[in-house]
Chain A
Amino acid sequence: DTEVTQTPKHLVMGMTNKKSLKCEQHMGHRAMYWYKQKAKKPPELMFVYSYEKLSINESVPSRFSPECPNSSLLNLHLHALQPEDSALYLCASSQDRRGPNTDTQYFGPGTRLTVL
Chain B
Amino acid sequence: AQSVAQPEDQVNVAEGNPLTVKCTYSVSGNPYLFWYVQYPNRGLQFLLKYITGDNLVKGSYGFEAEFNKSQTSFHLKKPSALVSDSALYFCAVRDGYNNNDMRFGAGTRLTVKP
Q: Do A and B come from one complex?
A: yes
Interface residues of A (CB under 8 A from B): 2, 4, 6, 40-43, 45, 48, 56, 88, 90, 92, 97-98, 100-101, 103-110, 112
Q: Which residues of chain A are within 8 angstroms of B102 by Cβ–Cβ distance?
A: 45, 103, 105
Which B62-114 residues have a C-beta within 8 angstroms of A?
Answer: 88, 90, 94, 96, 99, 101-107
A104 nearest CB across to chain B (Å): 6
A108 nearest CB across to chain B (Å): 5
Q: Which residues of chain A are within 8 angstroms of B105 by Cβ–Cβ distance?
A: 42
Q: Which residues of chain B are within 8 angstroms of A40 by Cβ–Cβ distance?
A: 88, 107
The answer to whether B51 and A41 touch across the interface, beta carbons within 8 angstroms, is: no
For the residues of A in contact with B, the DSSP-based class is loop
The CA of A4 and the CA of B45, in the complex, are separated in Å by: 11
Q: Which residues of chain B are within 8 angstroms of A2 by Cβ–Cβ distance?
A: 46
